[in-house]
Amino acid sequence: MDLTPADLKSSPAISTHPLQNSTFVGGRYEIIDLIGQGGAGAVYRVRHQALNKIFALKALYAGVTTDEKALRRFDAEAKTVGNLNNPYLIQVHDYGVTDSGIPYIVLDYIEGTNLADEILRLGHLDEDRVLSIFSKVCEGLEHAHTNQIIHRDLKPSNIMLLRNERGQEIPKIVDFGIAKRQSVDNSVTQTGEIFGTPLYMSPEQCLGKAIDSRSDIYSLGCVMYEALAGAPPFVGSNPVETVLRHINDTPLPLRKACGDWKISPESERVVMACLEKDPKDRPESAIAVQRNLERIAQGEKPALRKAAHRVKKRMSKTLLFSVISFLLGGLLLYACLIFVYLPHRKTASKGFSHDYVLALGLEKQLRYKESIDVLLNAMKVNEGHMTEQQLLPCYLALVEDFVKLGDKDSSEKYFDKMMDLVKQSTDKLAVFRYSSKVGDTIVDPLRKIYAYEEASSVWSLAEPTKPDYLLHVLTNMIKQYRKLNMVDKASHSLQYAREIIEKYPEVSDVYKWQIADCSGVISLQMSQPSRALQYFRQAKELARLLKNQQYLQLSEKQEEDILKSLNQGVKSDTASNAELRDNGQENIVH
């Protein structure tokens, strides 16, 4: 049953639920409230009478209890998770059947958010945070694998994020509803059956082949990829296309998928190794992935074996026919699920999340018009039920797509909608992230300035430990001030940027060069050539440290022009180099 206590805010209202006429379950669990429903059952918040402790209780619908296979899977989930004991895995505390014959499982009640919602809220996660989260996820996954348990449905919504009493972020893997024991009785889930979520399924899982723990490693790679890049490695316009892409396509390199925000080559190597098509080429265990993530966090190189360089062949007609035939049953099931799901779609935020991920996938394939159509349809279907957390990324994606299509009016329309929402938001981290990103995207200089000013105003409350993020915003904002000849505002922002650099000397030398260079240009515009000369000489030394010849040539040219003008008593002409400078400056973004 694809439902966890995380669903308490997102599940559609259903008129009946398994325990609607019950007050107590098993004689000791008092039902407090219903917190979520899915296709197979419901989740309740309950209180253990003797312990006075809160738990989550899963119960099957009465109609499902007549399905022998569903019952066996439910029973398997209870026994599977019941044998696991790890701080990064959800714990089963009890299992039983009500007097009316409804099976139930008692689990940890987790108050937090899930990874899918966190990615949606922020667009992507920082590399350091990803390393920390997934190091722990790997530990939990390794514990399951050591106990011969394969999860088979690892995805962002099945990773809960909570804080311990010391404020440390703790992930927990949940929903072992389709987990499978390896090398033991295989009667519940036979080879040839497809289980999982297409966006995160391994190639062998897509083909219905026998799987082992390395299938979970592939899914882990998909989830890490999405956490860093904001979208999964493979997204098709339907489940079958997604499955075929897992089988056939090579994922876009992670650093390229991340676009403006930068991640290390080391993290890319670890994630891409997990996404190898052949299980033999992936890391041999979750603990091997964990060790590499910890090495990267400590500034060391990961230890990865080289994948065999096999010649990639196009899928043969015979294999293609087999795959399509094999997937027909799954496609029919998909159609049935859509038929059942659509009546509740208007209030189902999970439906929007799926559409948003689909739109991002289309965008990465440069299918901007299709991406727009998906987003606009999702907004229409979910009108009146979308949260700020859903609208912000949706508006940003629309701005990006319309900019790519050259539709200035539409891009500005959704920019304005987005910024109206940003101004009302109390989530300062989301305000900073989305204001900064939409400022990078929109074309109009005044709108860029508006977005960057909003981002810089909340930086100290949102990302105070990330001065590079602020300097990215400030340097781009200063460029727009210069374009519009807003010298006083540029000078004020440069002063703030220099103060940040003085306070945080560890910031990137690229930003130091950009601020020194911009300071020199603005000083010239303010008729302060001697001061400008100091800044350009500072920029020249930074360019040497960076070993960047283009930066060095720009700084030397400015120094030469100023010295010449001082000797001749003529103000240096900065306009001729302005466009070259802006095009030459590296645009480093979080």
pLDDT, tens only, 97-113:
888 888 888 988 988 88
- Give the pLDDT band of residue 452 (cuts 50, 70, 90): very high
For 127-131, 185-189, 258-262, which range has the lowest pLDDT when averaged over its residues? 185-189
* Range among 39-53, 114-128, 252-266, 440-454 rated most confident: 440-454
User: 556 pLDDT exceeds 70?
Assistant: yes
User: 314 pLDDT exceeds 90?
Assistant: no
Question: What is the percent of the chain where pLDDT is above 70?
Answer: 78
User: 423 pLDDT exceeds 80?
Assistant: yes
Arithmetic mean of pLDDT, 193-197: 60
Where is 273: in which H helix or E strand?
Answer: helix 265-274
Q: Tell me the CA end-to-end span of the chain in Å, nearest whole number.
A: 37
- Residues of CATH 3.30.200.20 domain(s) within the chain? 5-108
The answer to whether 465 touches 590, Cβ cutoff 8 Å, is no
CA distances from 84 to 20, 87, 231, 241 (A): 30, 10, 31, 35
- Residue-level pLDDT at 195: 56
Residue 52 φ/ψ region, left for φ over 0, alpha for ψ in the -120 to 50 degree band, beta for the rest? left
Arithmetic mean of pLDDT, 190-204: 72
Determine the Cα–Cα distance for residues 216 and 158; give it in Å rounded to an integer.
13
Determine the Cα–Cα distance for residues 212 and 190; give it in Å rounded to an integer.
13
- Give the pLDDT band of residue 561 (cuts 50, 70, 90): confident
Determine the Cα–Cα distance for residues 433 and 447; give it in Å rounded to an integer.
16
- In the beta sheet, which residues pair with residue 43? 36, 58
- Give the pLDDT band of residue 357 (cuts 50, 70, 90): confident
> Within 382-407, where are the H helices?
388-404
Arithmetic mean of pLDDT, 14-23: 63
Fold category of 5-108 in CATH: Phosphorylase Kinase; domain 1 (3.30.200)
- Give the pLDDT band of residue 319 (cuts 50, 70, 90): low
The SS3 of residue 296 is helix
* The residue type at 114: N
CA distances from 238 to 66, 218, 242, 380 (A): 31, 20, 6, 20
* Range among 70-79, 84-93, 476-485, 521-530 rated most confident: 476-485
- Residue-level pLDDT at 186: 41
Determine the Cα–Cα distance for residues 25 and 527; give it in Å rounded to an integer.
80
- Structural tokens at position 588: 């480093």
Determine the Cα–Cα distance for residues 372 and 387; give it in Å rounded to an integer.
19
- In the beta sheet, which residues pair with residue 41? 60
Which residues, 6 or more positions from 173, have their beta carbon under 8 angstroms from its beta carbon? 88, 89, 90, 137, 140, 141, 144, 151, 154, 158, 159
Average pLDDT over the chain reads 82
- Structural tokens at position 146: 């050591």
Determine the Cα–Cα distance for residues 555 and 279; give it in Å rounded to an integer.
51
Determine the Cα–Cα distance for residues 203 and 562; give it in Å rounded to an integer.
62
User: 524 pLDDT exceeds 70?
Assistant: yes
User: Rg for the chain (alpha carbons), in Å?
Assistant: 27
Determine the Cα–Cα distance for residues 64 and 70; give it in Å rounded to an integer.
7
The torsion angle over the Cα atoms of residues 274, 150, 155 and 232, rounded to 10 degrees, is: 30
The answer to whether 31 touches 22, Cβ cutoff 8 Å, is yes
* The residue type at 170: I
- Residues of CATH 1.25.40 domain(s) within the chain? 466-590
- Residues of CATH 1.10.510.10 domain(s) within the chain? 113-307
The answer to whether 441 touches 400, Cβ cutoff 8 Å, is yes
User: 529 pLDDT exceeds 50?
Assistant: yes
* The residue type at 112: G
CATH code linked to domain 466-590 = 1.25.40
- Structural tokens at position 413: 């329309």
The domain 113-307 having CATH identifier 1.10.3470.10: the answer here is: no
Arithmetic mean of pLDDT, 336-341: 38
- Residue-level pLDDT at 454: 96
- Structural tokens at position 406: 């050259």
For 122-126, 417-421, 585-589, which range has the lowest pLDDT when averaged over its residues? 585-589
Q: Kindly report the CA angle at 12 between 8 and 13, in degrees rounded to 5?
A: 95
DSSP letter, residue 106: E
**Burial degree of 499 (CB within 10 A; 0-12, 13-18, 19+):** exposed
User: 185 pLDDT exceeds 60?
Assistant: no
Arithmetic mean of pLDDT, 506-529: 91
The SS3 of residue 182 is coil
Residue 167 φ/ψ region, left for φ over 0, alpha for ψ in the -120 to 50 degree band, beta for the rest? left
Kindly report the backbone phi and psi dihedral angles of residue 44, in degrees, each rounded to the nearest multiple of 5, phi listed first.
-120, 150
User: 316 pLDDT exceeds 70?
Assistant: no
The SS3 of residue 279 is helix
CA distances from 239 to 26, 146, 198, 295, 321 (A): 40, 31, 6, 36, 17
User: 137 pLDDT exceeds 90?
Assistant: yes
